[in-house]
Amino acid sequence: MPLPSAPAVAEPVAPAGARLPRFPATFDRERVTTPEPSCVAILLCTYNGQNHLPEQLASYCAQTHTRWSVFASDDGSMDATRHILDACAERWGSRLMVVDGPRQGFAANFLSLASAPDIRADYYAYSDQDDIWEPDKLQQAVHALQQIPPDVPALYCSRLRLIGNGGEELGLSRLFGGPASFSNALVQNVASGNTSVFNHAAKRLLEKAGADVCVPFHDWWTYMVVSGCGGVVVYDPHPTVRYRQHGGNAMGSNRSWRGRAERVRMLWEGRFRDWNDLNIRALERLDDFLAEEVRHTLRLYAASRKKSFLPRLLGLKRAGIHFQTMGGNLGLMMAAICNKV
């Protein structure tokens, strides 16, 4: 499909030290670091995404909220992805900045952007390369986040509309009805990254944790950080993204049989426990910013994981650790019994 044109916006800033072969090396720092209200930085990560990337880029241009710029980090694509990005950058000018990713996996790629101190905006939106944004995605997110004081870390996320490889509709993702909380975030991510938008106060926390923090998923990490550091998490039941289901997804939908089977397999292989080890160690970097009740929950959770069968179950209950679905809580109990948490 032809590359879309985009209206002009304020000039963005590239991450420090990044190679930008097609873009100027100097910028008006005073102008770009004090953005106009509701400026959104789209954090796009790519890797061999030539098949669907043009549709994703076109969906940015269809947004009803038009004050956005794109920071694209390509993780060493071997197909036409980089060519597509560079061609689009020639049309969009400084509205699209392309940099080289760290080549350490998708989570590290996203966090290299989210923790880059020179990327400045009012709000930040994670973006996968193969989805399609609904036209009101940014408008809905910005409206919700504007209700929260800017000094309070805030994260917006939403339900997903599932589509097939060719764009055909398959249904909706699971609807989460319970409150978002740190005790939920320790074991479950309800903030799908391709729907996530967060404010600058949340970004400062991600910067303090650093780009080199070792976590399995950038969106799960963002949910833990915001909920653990006194922030607000807004879950919107209105779907804002068309989430493409195909074999190249990092993780399929939690409604698909493929996604469910993959999660069960990883659980029994011990990968869920390994992920928890990484997350707990990573949270130590933000200990000074965690709320006191969060520290208490984290200590109880970490200690219970090392105990024998019955004390382990009691410890999880005391810590309030839970999923947002009955099936998830049953799975958590079975995992705890088998020491897979």
All residue ranges of the chain with pLDDT < 70 are: 1-37, 247-260, 263
**Tally of CB atoms within 10 A around 19:** 9
Look-up: residue for tokens 């939403």?
Answer: 158
Q: Which helix (H) or strand (E) holds 156?
A: strand 154-163
pLDDT at 265: 74
Q: 301: which 2 tokens?
A: 């959770």
For the chain, the structural domain boundaries read 29-252, 263-337
Q: Which amino acid is at 327?
A: G
Asked if residue 308 lies in contact with residue 300, where contact means CB atoms within 8 angstroms, the answer is: no
Q: Check residue 6 and give its pLDDT.
A: 58
Architecture of domain 29-252: Alpha-Beta Complex (3.90)
- Whole-structure pTM value: 0.87
